[in-house]
Amino acid sequence: MAFRWSKGGLACVLALLSTQAYAVGKCERLVATGSPDAPPYSWQDPQDPKHLIGANVDLLRQVAAELGVKVEVLHAGKREQALEEVRSGRMDLLLDTPMQVTQLTSLDYIHPALQLNEYLVWTRHDAPLVFDGPADLARYQGALSEKARLTPAFEAFAKAQLKLEPAQNLTQAFQKLVLGQVDYVLAGRYSGMAMAQSLGVGNDLIARGLPVDRPGLYLTVSHNSACNDSWLRGQLAKKLTELPISGASEAVLQRNVERWKAQMQASQGAPKQ
């Protein structure tokens, strides 16, 4: 027996489909996470440990506000835990994903990159180190934080050509440099600047030459996110393209460098318990 729609029933179904299509095209709430220890881009808020703060967080909030979408940026644990929360779809967005082919099966990368993290060669101000390009570093002893994320090409070059001592974090790497245990440190432009100042050695260390590496930090959307659709990806890409042109990215970075530096100084000046 043929089934027949009444005019009223058909109208209700069409209205429902229209509403669902709109909901898919405009997700009203997003949950994001990122690295909890990658200042000035993202780090755990000492005043509110359940959330992340940083330049990437601020930029995402700005973009989401312009799209009329609410976003919450939560602390989800260490880097691998945060990645797994997004891959599983329990969270929608990852703030600072380096470009890795292995992640393309679970994450959609939004282009252009949210930030470019420029790695520079940091040395003591009076160091006799001669540096005109990465190959010149082969004769010296360097240090690199274990948390650094380089491009695959430069990482392969460093492994084959450079003598790099791993450090637990950037603080330890810079301490080695100040003590003369290494000749140089590879560190990000902004994180290196803030770290040197927070340790009180801003006048003793300098960054030399041009960046040796510029890995992109991408905003990615989980394949398993209910909010992952062409509308969201397209709008995010449009807004990220506009950010550098407006000058917002640089201003937000500088503001967060100062915020992190102030927090570091405050924590170092706090009485020991």
Q: What does the buried/exposed string (b/e) look like for 112-138 if buried means 16 or more CB atoms within 10 Å of the residue's CB?
A: ebbbbbbbbbbbbeebeeebeebeebe
Name every residue whose Cβ is closer than 8 Å to that of residue 5 and which is 6 or more positions away in sequence.
Answer: 13
Mean pLDDT of 128-150: 93
DSSP string, 4-18: ---HHHHHHHHHHHH
Is 215:149 a contact under the CB 8 Å cutoff?
yes
> Does the pLDDT at position 35 exceed 50?
yes
Contact 97, 91 (CB under 8 A): no
Amino acid at 76: A
Identify the DSSP state of 270: S
Per-residue pLDDT, 95: 94
Q: What is the pLDDT of residue 38?
A: 86
Q: What is the pLDDT of residues 68-80, one digit of tens each?
A: 999 999 999 998 9
Mean pLDDT of all residues in 152-175: 95
Average pLDDT over residues 174-183: 96
Q: What was the pLDDT predicted at 26?
A: 61
d(CA 182, CA 199): 17
| pLDDT band with cut points at 50, 70 and 90 for residue 163 | very high
Query: DSSP per residue over 135-156, as a string?
Result: GGGGGSEEEEETT----HHHHH
What are the angstrom distances between the C-alpha of 48 and each of 43, 45, 70? 11, 5, 19
Q: What sign does the dihedral 158-161-162-168 (CA atoms) show?
A: positive
Closest among 48, 202, 51 to 124, alpha carbons compared? 202
Under DSSP, the state recorded for 182 is: S
Ranges 4-8, 78-82, 266-270: which has the least confidence:
4-8
Mean pLDDT of 89-102: 92
For residues 195 and 39, give the distance between their C-alpha atoms in angstroms, rounded to a whole number.
10
Give the per-residue pLDDT at 243.
87
**What value does the mean pLDDT of the chain take?**
87
Taking residues 151-171, report their average pLDDT.
Answer: 95
First to last CA, the chain: 80
Tens-place pLDDT, residues 111-125: 999 999 999 999 999
Strand locations in 135-240 (E) = 141-145, 163-167, 184-188, 205-213, 216-222
Q: What is the DSSP letter of 90?
A: S
With cut-offs at 50, 70 and 90, classify the pLDDT of residue 219.
very high
Predicted pLDDT at 156:
95
Cβ atoms of 61 and 71 within 8 Å: the answer is yes
pLDDT, tens only, 220-265: 999 999 999 999 999 999 999 998 888 888 899 999 989 988 888 8
DSSP state of 108: E
pLDDT at 162: 97
* Predicted confidence (pLDDT) at residue 31 exceeds the cutoff of 80: yes
Answer yes or no: is pLDDT of 269 > 70.
no
Residue 12 has pLDDT above 60, yes or no: no
> Above pLDDT 70, what percent of the chain?
88
